[in-house]
Amino acid sequence: MTRARFTPLIASLPSTVPFVGPETLQRDRGADFVARLGANESAFGPSPRAVEAMREADAEIWKYGDSSSHDLRHALAQKYGCPADCVIVGEGIDGLLGNLVRLTVATGDAVVTSEGAYPTFNYHVAGCGGTLHKVPYRDDHEDLAGLLRMAADCNAKLVYFANPDNPMGSWHSGASIAAALEDLPEGALLVLDEAYLEFAPAGTEVPLPLDDPRIIRLRTFSKAYGLAGARVGYALAHPDLIAAFDKVRNHFGMNRSAQIAALAALRDEEWLAKVQGKVKAARNRVGEIARENGLLPLPSATNFVAVDCRRDGEFARALLSALLEQGVFLRMPAPPPLDRCIRISCGLPAELDALAGALPKALRHVTR
């Protein structure tokens, strides 16, 4: 019987995925969640204008999407005051990361990231044969100075850095990042993941020109705009780097209705402001629930809160499992010492009520 012949690189990789999806977890437990608070989605939903635009666009779903995402790219360029050739649209930040790694990383090339940072980036690097060099977090923040030192030591092509950060919710000022870039080694590119930027305080955005060749900024409609299922992300960078994406990207990979919905969402600034207010209120409520149960909520500039369980990773994992048994879906960081925390997404009031009821029971179960 004939079988596929994998490349030596692919054959050497383990059969793993970065995340187990919530739907898989629901099937495994044989019941739906009462609180879906683990995927950092926007439970508050997208703009009604985006929903209506998508509904109307679905009537013409027989058409391929615009292969250049022209209207959305130009609207983003207008929003940020840059030329459209500084903007690329892709299948979420995940899709853009995959293409960026394909463009820059060959077998053996060094790439730097934080130990415990977004695992999908690591997945793409491994798939291209790159060598990951990891730097521990420092005081629950990604250590940008440490990342840049490591990049110099190993001659890294890419340095991955999220601001605000997932999974800890911490952040750095944009001014401090701009200053740190003076130490970026020649030939390295800072991959700045800004998925949660809309939730961050003023001064978090990096005050550098969008065409600075040292940096590529990755943003998304999945979080604040509530379109995670539509898979729409975009990157801002120097035109030469943006143009190179055409060499590897799936030119018809962007769903037509998703492009149209994202454009409508971008224009509805009033809805975005409402969501930002609801996220702030939900973060406060999560913090209250945590403190009522003797846990410590960490400061957050995202749509989730990392909660310090004040014990070790084994305790936090047991607590996560006990909550899952009650239908409350959360996630947690993987490596120590970050794994002392659980991560709680901002949800609807009813979901947070469910968390408030389940958490004391889960704590009693794991401490008895």
Distance, CA of 36 to CA of 200 (rounded, Å): 23
Judged against a pLDDT cut of 80, whether residue 306 lies above it is answered with: yes
Identify the pLDDT of residue 307.
98
Q: Please check whether residue 109 lies inside any domain of the structure.
A: yes
Identify the pLDDT of residue 178.
98
Identify the pLDDT of residue 179.
98
Distance, CA of 244 to CA of 140 (rounded, Å): 35
Judged against a pLDDT cut of 80, whether residue 28 lies above it is answered with: yes
Judged against a pLDDT cut of 80, whether residue 1 lies above it is answered with: no
Beta bridge partners, 191, equal 160, 216
Whether 290 contacts 297, CB under 8 Å: yes
Q: Please check whether residue 200 lies inside any domain of the structure.
A: yes
Strand order in the sheet with 215-220: 87-90, 233-236, 215-220, 189-193, 158-162, 110-114, 131-135
Distance, CA of 42 to CA of 25 (rounded, Å): 19
Identify the pLDDT of residue 20.
85
Are 73 and 86 members of one domain?
yes
Identify the pLDDT of residue 331.
95
Instruction: Work out the pLDDT band at 162, boundaries 50, 70, 90.
Output: very high
The pLDDT tens digits of the residues spanning 244-274 come to 999 999 999 999 999 999 999 999 999 999 9
The pLDDT tens digits of the residues spanning 95-135 come to 999 999 999 999 999 999 999 999 999 999 999 999 999 99
Judged against a pLDDT cut of 90, whether residue 302 lies above it is answered with: yes
Q: Report how many helices (DSSP H) and strands (DSSP E) the chain contains, helices first.
A: 13, 12
Q: Please check whether residue 93 lies inside any domain of the structure.
A: yes
Give the closest residue to 245 by CA, choosing from 218, 222, 223.
Answer: 218
Are 57 and 164 members of one domain?
yes
Are 254 and 333 members of one domain?
no
Distance, CA of 18 to CA of 348 (rounded, Å): 26
Give the closest residue to 45 by CA, choosing from 298, 243, 273, 227.
Answer: 227
Q: Please check whether residue 4 lies inside any domain of the structure.
A: no
Are 66 and 39 members of one domain?
no
Question: What would the mean pLDDT of 285-298 be, rounded to a whole number?
Answer: 98
313: Cα separation from own chain's centroid:
22
Are 291 and 215 members of one domain?
no
Are 156 and 83 members of one domain?
yes
Domain containing residue 194: CATH number = 3.40.640.10
Query: What is the tally of structural domains in the chain?
Result: 2
Are 256 and 293 members of one domain?
no
Residue 334, number of CB atoms within 10 A of its CB: 13
Identify the pLDDT of residue 2.
83
Distance, CA of 83 to CA of 96 (rounded, Å): 19
Indicate the SS3 state at residue 12.
helix
Beta bridge partners, 329, equal 36
Instruction: Work out the pLDDT band at 16, boundaries 50, 70, 90.
Output: confident
Q: Which domain holds residue 132?
A: 48-267
Identify the pLDDT of residue 120.
94
Q: Letter for the amino acid at 42?
A: S
Beta bridge partners, 90, equal 233
Identify the pLDDT of residue 19.
82
Q: Among residues 221, 242, 267, which one ends one of the domains?
A: 267
Give the closest residue to 97 by CA, choosing from 80, 120, 126.
Answer: 120
Beta strands in the chain (DSSP E): 35-36, 87-90, 110-114, 131-135, 158-162, 189-193, 215-220, 233-236, 296-297, 304-308, 328-329, 341-345
Q: Please check whether residue 1 lies inside any domain of the structure.
A: no
Domain containing residue 341: CATH number = 3.90.1150.10
Distance, CA of 123 to CA of 246 (rounded, Å): 22
Judged against a pLDDT cut of 90, whether residue 171 lies above it is answered with: yes
Q: Among residues 267, 291, 318, which one ends one of the domains?
A: 267
CA dihedral (253, 254, 255, 260) in degrees, to 10, reads -170
Are 316 and 233 members of one domain?
no
Are 163 and 59 members of one domain?
yes
Whether 22 contacts 327, CB under 8 Å: no
Identify the pLDDT of residue 293.
97
pTM, two decimal places: 0.95
Q: In the predicted model, what is the mean pLDDT of the chain?
A: 96
Distance, CA of 361 to CA of 252 (rounded, Å): 49
Q: Among residues 267, 297, 329, which one ends one of the domains?
A: 267
Identify the pLDDT of residue 279.
98
Q: Please check whether residue 188 lies inside any domain of the structure.
A: yes
215-220/189-193 β-pairing: parallel
Secondary structure (DSSP) of 144-200: HHHHHHHHHHHT-SEEEEESS-TTT-----HHHHHHHGGGPPTT-EEEEE-TTGGGS
Residue 364, C-beta contacts closer than 8 angstroms, at least 6 positions apart:
none
Secondary structure (DSSP) of 34-71: SEE-SS---TT---HHHHHHHHHHGGGTTSPPPTT-HH
Question: What would the mean pLDDT of 327-353 be, rounded to a whole number?
Answer: 96
Identify the pLDDT of residue 176.
98
Are 27 and 159 members of one domain?
no
Are 117 and 253 members of one domain?
yes
Are 105 and 143 members of one domain?
yes
